[in-house]
Amino acid sequence: MTDLEMLRNALAERASRAPDVDVVLANATHGVRRLRSRRKATALAGTVAVATGALVAGVTLINQPGPNDPGQPRQPDTRVQAATTPSPAKPKVIRPQLPFTVTIPAGYQVESWSVGDSGAILDFKGSGGLAQAALLNRVSPSVKGSQTTQTTQTTVRGIPAQLEQISLAGGHTYATLTWELIPGKSALVQGNSEQQARSIAESMTTEPSELPSTGQLASLPAGLLVSYWGRGNVSTPLAMLCPERYSDKNECAQVYFNNGTVPNEVNISIEGQKAPLGAPDADGVRQTPDGRRLARQVAPGHWVEATSGTSTTAAQLRELVLAASAG
């Protein structure tokens, strides 16, 4: 087992990643459908928002909530403005958003992220290895394995916290801080040293922030809600959309935001099985023979693919692929 694999195992043992991390890592194979636990498709639909683009190492994820984002108090506008003809309001697009803001260490850049019902996780990688910041509904206790853990009580910005020094086989040591950032929500920060973990933890706030994403939806089909957003280390953002009365993951549709041009065939299984895409119709939509996968070129260098769940109708799937764009 490599050091990277051991670190990922340690991260998984410490954070309540299920089901999000499966989908994040599955982006590399593009066709994986499994999630490890059931979800309720609720609050994320239509309220999450984020900007496109890559983060520069050593800068803070910037909070830029929209004027109608929940939980953001309106401030009186004291500016004096000249009388002008108001411009038409732009439709509000649907994008992912982290429920926290954190400063990424210098020399690091975002590797993967996920936002779902169980919380949000941001992984970044640099010369010192992997680091992580998360805001979760719960944090799992450590599991003893190919690691040793030393636990002490401490504080983060005056809030009681737990510090764990994790030593992996091979001599690598990582530090994890966990504390209740807000009632009912646990923050988790992991770095390659206590100093790095503390630096990240001290910068963490509950201000929502943008993500390095290249995908958005102009609207949602009736009866579907966004249950999950994620991006793995292959930079393919993914949105999962589930019925309002969600009961099984297989019911959910998925939208992938890809770079490049629409291929002539797409993956239909993790074993590498492929299906051909037909010719574009009047809207530029191409589909597999069974009609369960649609694809469309949305911009030069960007295309989207929408895959059907067991309860997704043909009309919903078409609406999804037409509403998706590179952002």
Can you tell me whether residue 186 is helix, strand or coil?
strand
- Per-position pLDDT tens, the chain of length 327: 444 444 444 444 444 333 333 433 333 333 323 223 333 333 333 323 332 222 233 334 433 333 333 333 333 333 333 344 455 555 578 998 999 999 998 899 999 999 988 899 999 999 888 899 999 987 765 544 556 678 999 999 999 999 999 887 777 788 999 999 999 899 999 999 999 999 999 999 999 998 877 799 999 999 999 999 999 866 789 999 999 776 688 899 999 999 999 999 999 888 889 999 999 999 999 999 999 999 999 999 999 999 999 999 999 999 999 999 987
Whole-angstrom distance, CA of residue 178 vs CA of residue 164: 9
Residue 286's nearest CA partner among 265, 300, 267 is 265
Beta-ladder partners of 224 = 243
Beta-ladder partners of 22 = none
Whole-angstrom distance, CA of residue 9 vs CA of residue 189: 15
Whole-angstrom distance, CA of residue 25 vs CA of residue 33: 11
Whole-angstrom distance, CA of residue 302 vs CA of residue 305: 10
DSSP 45: T
- Say if residue 19 is preceded by a cis peptide, omega within 30 of 0: yes
In Å, what is the CA distance from 306 to each residue of 106, 225, 240, 288? Answer: 36, 15, 10, 11
Q: Do 219 and 153 meet the contact criterion of CB atoms below 8 Å apart? A: no
Task: Flag whether the pTM goes above 0.75.
Answer: no
In Å, what is the CA distance from 265 to each residue of 17, 236, 240, 320? Answer: 32, 17, 22, 20
Residue 282's pLDDT is what? 97
In Å, what is the CA distance from 292 to each residue of 37, 52, 323? Answer: 24, 28, 17
- Say if residue 73 is preceded by a cis peptide, omega within 30 of 0: no
Residue 31's pLDDT is what? 32
DSSP 62: P
